[in-house]
A = this chain, B = another copy of it.
Amino acid sequence: MLTRVLAALSDPIRLGLVRLLADGQERGWGELRAPVAKSTLSHHLKVLRDAGVTRTRQEGTRCFVQLRRTDLDNRFPQLMEALLSVAATDDIGGDVTAARRDAPR
């Protein structure tokens, strides 16, 4: 549902997460750095997952998040491109980053 996706992306932190994943690279949950508690981050990732924006893969005790770019592009042509472009220009969710893969939490 389009409205679901728009609601999911109408939060700066979630949009920041999407920006971070925009290169198509899978990211480890533990790499993600956002100015919220981990339970809140888990919540945001669940919202994105439930809206069909991201996919989560579990591997042992840790999991990896990925943007469902091709699915989104099929269902909502041009939308992510337009969105990511504006979000980058305005640096929305710029406080969401990724730590080095071997960085301590």
Contacts and interface: CB of A to CB of B under 8 A. Distances in A.
Interface of A: 1-4, 6-7, 9-12, 15, 75-79, 81-83, 85-87, 90, 92
Contacts of A75: 86
Number of copies: 2
A92 to B, nearest CB: 6
A86 B76 contact: yes
A7 B12 CA distance: 11
B12 A87 contact: no
Contacts of A2: 15, 83, 86-87, 90, 92
Which of the listed residues A11, A12, A79 has the most CB atoms from chain B within 10 Å of its own CB? A79
B7 A10 contact: yes
